[in-house]
Amino acid sequence: MNIRSVPFDHPDAVKLNDEVQAEYQRRYGDGGDATVLHPEDFRPPHGLFLIAYDDRDRPVATGGWRAQDENGEGNEDGDAELKRMFVIEQCRGLGLARRILAMLEEDARAAGRTRMVLETGDQQPEAVALYASSGYDRCRKFGYYRFHENSICMSKQL
């Protein structure tokens, strides 16, 4: 697998973002993640967006981080927010999410961020297990879904 940085609005990123939104819709029965994201949120050094490509150069997994500071939605100064972690069904279980997560943590740390935060949901037990096994603990809720009952927020000091 080849993991490389791409703009958030790259056609492969848009394609996989559409797939992750469909996954959220299947799991939660709504319109997907309504968190507002902008391509500039993921531009270095204030963020990064990664895509994993298979040996035939097909996009199969994504993940990104964006800088967040104290903002009235529960973020703290120095936060790096993890967004759009996703692996297509055929490539799950290969360790791609773990590899992308490690690369994003390393990049956020190098950019001076002090804490990685994420929001997931109770219908994504495999995501919760990945983050817990990677050193993340539940934290005070933040962001768009901070008042939703099925929202799970986690963090890890970088």
pLDDT at 90 over 90: yes
Measured from the Cβ of residue 78, the count of other Cβ atoms closer than 10 Å reads 16
Give the position of tokens 């199969």. Answer: 60
Q: How does residue 122 score in pLDDT terms, banded at 50, 70 and 90?
A: very high
pLDDT at 144 over 90: no
Number of domains in the chain: 1
- Kindly state the tokens that stand for 129: 């297990």
pLDDT at 30 over 80: no
CA distance 82 to 17: 14
CA distance 2 to 51: 8
Domain that holds residue 148: 2-157
pTM for the whole thing? 0.95
The pLDDT of 35-50, averaged and rounded, is 96
pLDDT the model gives residue 1 = 87
The pLDDT of 71-76, averaged and rounded, is 92
Q: What is the CATH number of the domain that holds 121?
A: 3.40.630.30
Beta-bridge partner residues of 61: 52, 87
